[in-house]
Amino acid sequence: MAQKRKSDGAKDAWAEIWPSQQSEKSAALLKALHILTREGALNADSRRKLKQVLHLTQFLRPALKALLKQSEEPILADVGAGKSYLGFVLYDLILGPAGRGRIIGVEARPDLVGPSRALAAESGFERMAFVASPIADAVLPGGRVDMVTALHACDTATDDAIRFALRHNAKTIALIPCCQAEVSGLLEGQTGSLRQLWRHPIQRREFGAHVTNVIRGLVLEAHGYKVRVTELTGLEHSLKNELILGERHQRRNPQARVELERLIEQLGVQPALLNVMT
């Protein structure tokens, strides 16, 4: 009896945060993703992971609904997809019920792509596909993607996601950056009036990560995106918590480009992402 109450409590805890009432199919999916145990329990680590993905899903829901109104078959590319937690949840909660739209996961590791393909087939997610490729080399058929997502793509992989979005003329891009190291390395040894901001290594890492995301936002704005930067979830769930959400409204923004160039001149660094500005 006690074991049954414990199991029911675990199931209730999952139901409290899951927005869909079609729980049986969703439960099978989440068990396959190892977010739920075979008994339907949700452990602490899984709760944090699931809350992050669900928060991002809620941020993306309005943009996805807008795309579904604009296009008969919108395409979402989840790049650096890993085990494709985000893609599966977006399909289960939004594109599946809509009956339209495709999700394509881009992941360089074949050992992750194979199981994702099998799970999509097992779940009946017919409009979900996977490409085994590094983000930097991936080009999708037709060269068109409506939305690009990158959840915790490490270091310059997030920059590859931005390049991918620009190559495919994406209308929306959502980034949760992770482990930015490039700018921190470039700042080391830099002199000038701002040097005190990054003189100590721990401050250089933090400042470098912050500047990296500022540059990313300005690059997107210079390419015509309206950019919003916000907290994804509470810090108790993840320290990698900054969401950069861009929606394209025009082809270019000259003022944002001027601001970017001014910032780069003051810092004296040239991260590789700036190659998209040429």
What are 220-264's pLDDT values in tens digits? Answer: 999 999 999 998 765 444 456 789 999 999 999 999 999 999 999
Better pLDDT: 169 or 26: 169
**∠ CA 259-175-91, rounded to 5°:** 145
User: What is residue 259's predicted lDDT score, i.e. its pLDDT?
Assistant: 97
Residue 2 scores a pLDDT above 50: no
DSSP three-state, residue 174? strand
Among 37-41, 83-87, 101-105, 127-131, the range scoring the smallest mean pLDDT is: 37-41
Among 33-47, 80-94, 238-252, the range scoring the smallest mean pLDDT is: 33-47
Stated as kind and residue range, the H or E segment containing 227 is: strand 225-231
Mean pLDDT value across residues 85-101: 92
User: What is residue 139's predicted lDDT score, i.e. its pLDDT?
Assistant: 85
Determine contact, residues 105/78, Cβ cutoff 8 Å. yes
Torsion sign, CA atoms 42, 20, 79, 109: positive
DSSP three-state, residue 180? coil
User: What is residue 234's predicted lDDT score, i.e. its pLDDT?
Assistant: 52
- Number of other residues whose CB lies within 10 A of the CB of residue 227: 17
Q: Tell me which residue of 7, 176, 9 sits closest to 85, measured CA to CA.
A: 176
Tokens representing 177 are: 């950056």
Residue 4 scores a pLDDT above 90: no
Residue 17 scores a pLDDT above 90: no
Q: Tell me which residue of 197, 177, 188, 182 sits closest to 271, measured CA to CA.
A: 182
187-227: pLDDT as tens digits: 998 887 888 999 999 999 999 999 999 999 999 999 999 99
Determine contact, residues 116/84, Cβ cutoff 8 Å. yes
DSSP three-state, residue 139? coil
High-pLDDT (> 70) share of the chain, %? 87
User: What is residue 175's predicted lDDT score, i.e. its pLDDT?
Assistant: 95
Q: Tell me which residue of 160, 154, 177 sits closest to 229, measured CA to CA.
A: 177
DSSP three-state, residue 242? strand
Q: What is the average pLDDT value for the chain, to the nearest integer?
A: 86
Mean pLDDT value across residues 138-160: 90
The pLDDT confidence band at residue 28, using thresholds 50, 70 and 90, is confident
User: What is residue 14's predicted lDDT score, i.e. its pLDDT?
Assistant: 62
Q: Tell me which residue of 48, 58, 25, 22 sits closest to 245, measured CA to CA.
A: 58
Which residues are paired to 268 by β-bridges? none
**∠ CA 45-49-50, rounded to 5°:** 115
* Distance in angstroms (rounded) separating the CA atoms of residues 255 and 98: 39
Domains of the chain, each with CATH number or no CATH: 2-277 (3.40.50.150)
Residue 82 scores a pLDDT above 80: yes
Mean pLDDT value across residues 32-49: 75
* Distance in angstroms (rounded) separating the CA atoms of residues 201 and 181: 12
Which pTM was predicted? Answer: 0.89
- Number of other residues whose CB lies within 10 A of the CB of residue 139: 11
* Distance in angstroms (rounded) separating the CA atoms of residues 114 and 116: 5
